[in-house]
A and B are shown apart, each in its own frame.
Chain A
Amino acid sequence: MLILSRREGESIMIGDDIEVVVTRIDHDSVRLGVNAPRKLAVFRNEIYRKIQESNMASVREASGAGPVLPALPALALRPKPSVLPHPAPHSGGDPNGR
């Protein structure tokens, strides 16, 4: 691992277009600013890992016609509509959504 010493206000460059700035040092915590192309998402490591793990735990082999899911009418706050919602080209125009 490359390790660099930086003071408050100093920064490092990663490649040509990613800048990481040490904006504040405060006892045991450091505030960092990241200037990066918008297509690069920057997250705290812990939350990123958690979501990654959660995704891995949620993905499963496609079950086809026979889902092993509980039917949970008690769960649905919104009553099951006779016509199920889906992201259609035009929204229904309900101002409050529900």
Chain B
Amino acid sequence: MDAAAPSTPQPVAPPSPVPVAHETAAHASAKTRIRLPFGLIGLRHLTCFELEPITESWPFQRLRALEGANVEMVVLEPNTFLESYPIRIRDEDAEDLGIADGESALVLNIVAFHQMSPLFVTVNLAGPIVVNRVTGVGKQVIVTHSERYSVAHVLMDARQGDSGVAPGSAEPGGTQGA
């Protein structure tokens, strides 16, 4: 899904860092509709969502299910916590979503709060939600080089005593995203 590498079967796509979109003033807590026609993996019934930044807990955002189910997930855009996150997705996924390059994609990584005290939080880098910024349609994909990325990348781990905040590059290797 990278316009810069169209000839390779699995082009390197840097959908992240994603550009900060749009400059509509006064929409500091703007909600965005996101539709995932195939639902989430293992939760196929969840297809309609609203994405809303959690202003008091930036950079966390809330992805709330809209259709009856009173559930939500917390997500992060990768460029808010990773220096670099070059991912590749299947050509079929990119085509289905109508995503031609990294900039047309909104990438969301799902956060898991395993424990609140002491804090232990991981984030899924292997199975991000990729959304077409224009249509609002997205899909949870498994990156094609999933062995490089963890399903449970440690974001914060206060169980060992230190602050545990672990930002920085996801994993070595790969090309620098965008």
Contacts and interface: CB of A to CB of B under 8 A. Distances in A.
Interface of B: 16-25, 27-32, 34, 40-43, 46, 51, 53-60, 62, 64-65, 70-74, 77, 79-83, 90, 92, 96, 102-104, 106, 110-114, 116, 119, 124, 126-127, 131, 133-134, 136, 140, 142, 146, 151-152, 155-156, 163, 165, 167, 178
B126 to A, nearest CB: 6
Q: 4 closest Cβ contacts across the A-B interface? A: A88-B22, A52-B42, A51-B127, A97-B17
Contact of B41 (A52, A76, A77): A52
B41 A51 contact: yes
A54 B21 contact: no
A93 B156 CA distance: 32
A9 B41 CA distance: 32
Interface stretch (A13-21, A23-31, A60-68): A60-68
Contact of A68 (B102, B116, B126, B142): B116
B32 A47 contact: no
30 contacts: A43-B142, A47-B126, A48-B41, A51-B126, A51-B127, A53-B42, A55-B41, A58-B124, A61-B70, A61-B72, A62-B64, A72-B59, A75-B155, A76-B59, A77-B80, A77-B81, A85-B21, A85-B77, A86-B32, A86-B51, A87-B51, A90-B22, A91-B22, A91-B103, A94-B20, A96-B19, A97-B79, A97-B102, A98-B19, A98-B79
Given A51-B42, A75-B155, A81-B20, A58 B64 contact: no
B111 to A, nearest CB: 6
